[in-house]
Chains A and B, each alone.
Chain A
Amino acid sequence: MMEEESRSYQCPACTGPLRYDGATGRLVCDYCDSSFEPRDLEQEPREAEDFPPTVDDTVENAWSPQEADALQQYHCPACGALLACDETTVATSCPYCGNPLVLEGKLKGGLRPELILPFRLDKEQAKAALRQHYKKKALLPRAFQEENHLEELKGVYVPFWLYDCRLWGRANYQAKRLRSWREGDYRVTETQHYLIRREGTMEFSSVPVDGSRKMPDALMDAIEPFDYGGLRPFSNSYLPGFLAEVYDVDRGEAAQRMEQRVRASLQRELRRSVIGYEAVVPSGQQQRLLSQRAHYALLPVWLLSTRWRGQTYLFAMNGQTGRLIGDLPCDWRRYWAYFAGCSGLFGALILALWQLL
């Protein structure tokens, strides 16, 4: 287990911990209500104090070698507690004193993000969005809304790869055009057969692919899109008060998901360009990525988890747009009640029409 450098942003007025406030875009102190521009507090981190170790390293079997490799330890600059984090965590808070911590040692070299999209929505808005998410769901168990309690709510800067790319594609299609006219007592139908060729390019900008294995891809995809107009050059000062991760899916691996998506878009656009035919069947296609560039960015996501009847339900909210996604349980008794009711209603309606028309 390695011990690394951590930093907390402290209020210059009262030395209380600062946190980033998405609504104002400033670092605020909850103790003296002071607020500061993030850039004003950008400074070299102070020297880590030489805290004595608080755990006995000689204790046998405290961590397995694999666990020890994956965990790193930090000292909270506020209370001195020794904290352990996994290798991808770069911002967290002290569980003893609540002091927000930024583990700056991990944000160096290739792991330092180029861009960051600051949080615009706060915790209360995330809770409100979750309550709204429960509404107008006929099959959501009532008990779920009443009994389940928010187990965890955390703002996380999730590592994303944003790809700019240019894709070339060619596609061939077999197409038919029909013409029909009358000759005496006969209807003549002429079928014209065509070979269709299309070739073109498409450019994509900032296609996001999450770079964290911990984050479910379906949740991260579904909270898109982000408004990239709010992207800023990365600064540690946006991190206090939130959790943050560094990527553990590298740009090469993430590029495969990006390619699947852009290829599907190009394929559909090429097909859409074939118009005026009654039948179109693809007969071959080629695609090639002409250029590709990846940016490493941290994007804001509120993660909410609730627990109901022994099962955890995870929700993600876009910290910028407020789009909240998450699967909900189904009340099967109500499902079958609806099924029976609708069957009877539709059946009676069809029977009445059957008799009348």
Chain B
Amino acid sequence: MKKVLLSVFSLALCLLPLWSLGAQAEESKGSVYDWAGLLTMEENQALNRQAQALEERYGCGVYILTTQSLEGKSPWQFHEELYGQLDLGAGEERSGVSLLLSMEERDYDLLAYGWGNTVFTDYGKELLSEEFLDDFGEDDYDQGFRDYLAGCEELLEQASLGTPVDVGYRRPRSFLAGLGISALGGVLGALGVCTALKGQLKSAKIKQEADDYCQGGLNLNLRQDLFLRASRSRTKVQQASSSGSGHSGGTRVNAGGFSHRSGKF
């Protein structure tokens, strides 16, 4: 009997944090759950409005979650449980994408569910994470979340056109940037051509060397290559999976119907 009571008590202790988060979620009711307190009220509201606008436009929930601790779980496990606890997702499929930051070990997890798995392919998640990781690395959380939402919008837009971003996707380039680069390239190219044409007009030059009059080339009397010392440096090799080149396309979905991209920031 004692053992049974102890087991029930232990289970209750384990479920308590989830219950408390769920309780907090009930209070928040939105797309941004900043339990780690990384955002100001104004930032939180602005991000929330932007995320909900995306959900309304594309029918796919877009969420931001922050927490101080993962409570001993892996980021993806904690994130999946939270997604269920908070009843996140839009529509019958509960489609959505969610970004979780845990401040304890500076972990992040990007999760997709339902139609979100189609929109946010493994390659798309990698592109998306590149948008915000540099900001989080500098502790600029508001900018990082804004970049995240902007990236989500781009991926959702592409998916809504029937071509989700996947391996081989080429990001549309800014016409203005192209105009600037082409103007600069044009001027440099023209300068090269005109300099060459003007060079045709100038043929009188002082000679600096006397190679035409050398008899038999260099006669070497001494040829010494003395080894002095050696120094070594080691650089960690980037794994192929994080470089993007290892993607074969599509989305790897686990048994629970979720797909993830995790790492440190």
Contact = CB atoms under 8 A, between A and B. Distances in A.
Interface string A264-275: 111011101100
B84 interface: no
B224 A196 contact: yes
Interface stretch (A27-35, A118-126, A292-300, A328-336): A328-336
A350 B185 CA distance: 7
A185 B210 contact: no
Given A197-B222, A261-B207, A325-B204, A343 B189 contact: yes
15 contacts: A139-B194, A185-B237, A186-B237, A196-B225, A198-B224, A207-B213, A261-B207, A264-B209, A268-B209, A270-B218, A335-B197, A342-B193, A343-B187, A346-B182, A351-B179
A221 B182 contact: no
Contact of B228 (A193, A205, A325, A347): A193
Interface residues of A, number: 76
Interface in A204-226: 204-208, 216-219, 221-222, 224-225
B206 interface: yes
Contacts of B224: 195-198
B233 A273 contact: no
B205 A264 contact: no
Contact-residue size bin, chain B (C-beta under 8 Å from the other chain): 35 or more
B52 to A, nearest CB: 35
Contact of A345 (B183, B186, B223): B186
Interface of A: 136-140, 170, 175, 182-183, 185-208, 216-219, 221-222, 224-225, 258, 260-262, 264-266, 268-270, 272-273, 325-330, 335, 338-351, 354-355
B178 A355 contact: yes
A155 to B, nearest CB: 19
Contacts of A187: 234-237
B20 interface: no
A221 B205 contact: yes
A201 B221 contact: yes
Interface of A is mostly: mixed
Interface of B: 173, 175, 178-179, 181-183, 185-191, 193-194, 197-198, 200-237, 239
A258 B202 CA distance: 23
Contacts of B186: 342-348, 350
A350 B175 CA distance: 12
A47 to B, nearest CB: 44
Given A186-B237, A194-B225, A203-B214, A339 B194 contact: yes
A198 B222 contact: yes
A225 B224 CA distance: 35
